[in-house]
Amino acid sequence: MRAKLSLYLDLIRWNRPAGWLLLLWPTLSALWLAQGGFPGWHLVVVFTLGTILMRSAGCCVNDVADREFDKHVKRTAQRPVTSGRISSREALAVGGVLAAAAFGLVLTTNAVTIAWSFAALAVALVYPYAKRYVSMPQAVLGVAFSFGIPMAYAAVRGDIPWQAWALLVGNLFWVLAYDTEYAMVDRDDDLRIGMKTSAITLGRWDVPAVMAFYVAYLALWSWLVLPGLDAAWGWWLGVAGAAVQVVWHGTLIRDRSREGCFKAFRLNHWVGFSVFVGVLLSVGP
């Protein structure tokens, strides 16, 4: 049982929290923005645990969908499903249990949030297969990884204003930035097996495109949130922290080395954390 538990934890990337942190910070930022301050412990706990559970469930589905491709990629060849240590059926069962637990949390919110949770699930299930047909599958991932934003507004307000959808679009640019860095790590393997990624599609424009995506993310969020802030200085402090990291990431990926690109991706959650701190410092109590 201990060995099986270890495999399950490996399946959901438990030792790599960067994945769920990338989802968590924009979701928490949306909760604070929707409420105009602290949204209450109930919603903080629901969305934090829900984010961890759904990201873990997504890993299960992704590994089953990519099990044949992952055999040919150095970084993923030893994943539990790909290596045969966990069957596809078992991985999907684990993912189903985790998704059901997340849905149980959503049931403690309101009808609007519950209804939109089905759309969020649908996008999450589509993404693993988008890599076969869409030249920029990172855009699909961007929608999936940003769906916590409108759901946070729904949970706080009972509806989803246009600002929430606009913030989703802005956050999508951040996902495009960090997941293109991630795709740059596997570019050679993906070219060999015929996988479609933004790193391949962008070609020699990958590095400038990543930097442009970062700028678009920070600029769009600033334009959207500044009018409703109580203390703009707090927001700009958070953005400054994020911008310093973006410049550093540019130095990490400019030579397109596997190590530099993976490091930039792995530490990207600190960019989202900086923006969240900016929100904390600039909205109500």
Give residue 132's pLDDT.
76
Give residue 280's pLDDT.
94
pTM of the complete model beyond 0.85: yes
Is the confidence at residue 285, as pLDDT, over 70?
no
Spatial separation of the C-alpha atoms in residues 16 and 12, rounded to whole Å: 9
pLDDT interval class at 74 (50, 70, 90): confident
Spatial separation of the C-alpha atoms in residues 145 and 148, rounded to whole Å: 7
Least Cα distance to 256 among 197, 205, 193, 201 occurs for: 205
Give residue 279's pLDDT.
96
pLDDT in tens, 124-181: 888 888 877 888 888 888 999 999 999 999 999 999 999 999 999 999 999 999 999 9
Contact criterion met (CB below 8 Å) for 173 and 213: yes
pLDDT in tens, 191-223: 887 788 899 999 999 999 999 999 999 999 999
Spatial separation of the C-alpha atoms in residues 75 and 261, rounded to whole Å: 13
Give residue 177's pLDDT.
96
